[in-house]
């Protein structure tokens, strides 16, 4: 009896140095990526803030671009972004939600469905410059829309459509089958089940995906560059067929100039862009958080 007790106490004090060391080292290796990411963002923020913070004035937002950096602002770029991305959101969010509902609830043929799903996932991986070139040839020249807001908006819409669709389809898949069957058993039609059961529960999650997709569209430079070119615009857009520029292009424009003052302006513009994107991401997270809490209830 005493022997066995001694044995088990020995077992408790037995130590495996190698395993212990590995356990202590593991978090160091595992967190390398996290630190690289955070360090990059921090250094970027630091650079941008130190060089651009003093240029962050109300006139930066309200003035048109100007050859003199003291008088230059990004008004036309902000308005261009609002028009283009706003319009593209109006196009891609309803379309994306609709196609997600089609894929998850309506398409009956399993192979067609699988084929479409794979294609949409692939579409999400196509480089954005390709969307820009397609938009240029189809919309700008093909349909004769020119280098206009509507051409840019459609291009961005098609680019973000797969993102919205995939997120919305994931949202639909979270709705329990039992709820849908409960509604069907009361004589609801497919459209009614979609409208009254699926949409109310899935919409917050769908919107989370939509916001993230739209914030990606705000940051896109490549497809817009192809369509609108580098522009110097000194007037507000009045119609969707006007020419336009967007914030990332304005930043690119300023940063490519030799004067230090313009470099500082581009840093300030980056701050504005980051602020908008972070606000949108925060909104998406807040929406998701609220939605998750409601699920628990």
Interface ranges with another protein (CB under 8 A): 108, 110, 176, 178-189, 192, 196-197, 200-201, 297
CB of 182 to another protein, least distance (A): 4
CB of 115 to another protein, least distance (A): 16
How far apart are the C-alpha atoms of 26 and 105, rounded to whole Å?
Answer: 44
Nearer to another protein, 66 or 195 (CB): 195
Element (H, E) at 142: none
Nearer to another protein, 15 or 293 (CB): 293
How far apart are the C-alpha atoms of 209 and 93, rounded to whole Å?
Answer: 9
CB of 188 to another protein, least distance (A): 4
How far apart are the C-alpha atoms of 84 and 265, rounded to whole Å?
Answer: 23
CA atoms within 13 A on the CB side of 22: 4
**119 closest CA partner among 107, 103, 135:** 103
What does the block give as tokens for 4?
Answer: 């066995």
How far apart are the C-alpha atoms of 259 and 198, rounded to whole Å?
Answer: 55
Nearer to another protein, 64 or 102 (CB): 102
Nearer to another protein, 37 or 182 (CB): 182
Nearer to another protein, 142 or 182 (CB): 182
CB of 76 to another protein, least distance (A): 46
Element (H, E) at 6: helix 2-13
Q: What is the DSSP letter of 84?
A: H
């Amino acid at each position: 009896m005493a022997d066995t007790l001694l044995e088990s106490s020995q077992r408790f004090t037995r130590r495996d140095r190698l395993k212990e060391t590995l356990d202590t080292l593991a978090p160091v290796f595992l967190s390398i990526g996290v630190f690289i990411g955070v360090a990059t963002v921090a250094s970027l923020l630091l650079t941008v803030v130190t060089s651009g913070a003093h240029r962050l004035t109300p006139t930066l937002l309200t003035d048109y671009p100007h050859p003199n950096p003291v008088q230059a602002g990004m008004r036309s770029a902000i308005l261009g972004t609002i028009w283009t991305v706003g319009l593209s959101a109006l196009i891609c969010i309803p379309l994306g939600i609709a196609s997600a509902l089609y894929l998850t609830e309506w398409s009956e043929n399993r192979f067609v469905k699988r084929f479409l799903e794979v294609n949409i996932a692939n579409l999400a991986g196509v480089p954005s410059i390709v969307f820009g070139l397609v938009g240029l040839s189809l919309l700008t020249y093909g349909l004769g829309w020119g280098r206009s807001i509507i051409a840019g908006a459609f291009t961005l819409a098609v680019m973000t459509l797969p993102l919205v669709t995939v997120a919305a389809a994931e949202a639909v898949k979270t709705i329990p089958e039992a709820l849908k069957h409960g509604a069907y058993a009361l004589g609801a039609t497919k459209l009614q089940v979609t409208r009254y059961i699926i949409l109310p529960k899935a919409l917050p999650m769908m919107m989370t995906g939509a916001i993230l997709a739209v914030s990606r569209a705000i940051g896109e430079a490549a497809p817009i560059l192809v369509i609108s070119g580098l522009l110097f615009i000194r007037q507000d857009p009045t119609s969707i067929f006007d020419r336009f520029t967007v914030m990332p292009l304005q930043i690119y424009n300023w940063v490519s100039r030799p004067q230090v003052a313009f470099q500082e302006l581009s840093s300030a513009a980056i701050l504005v862009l980051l602020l908008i994107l972070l606000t949108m991401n925060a909104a998406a997270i807040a929406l998701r958080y609220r939605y998750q809490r409601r699920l628990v209830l």
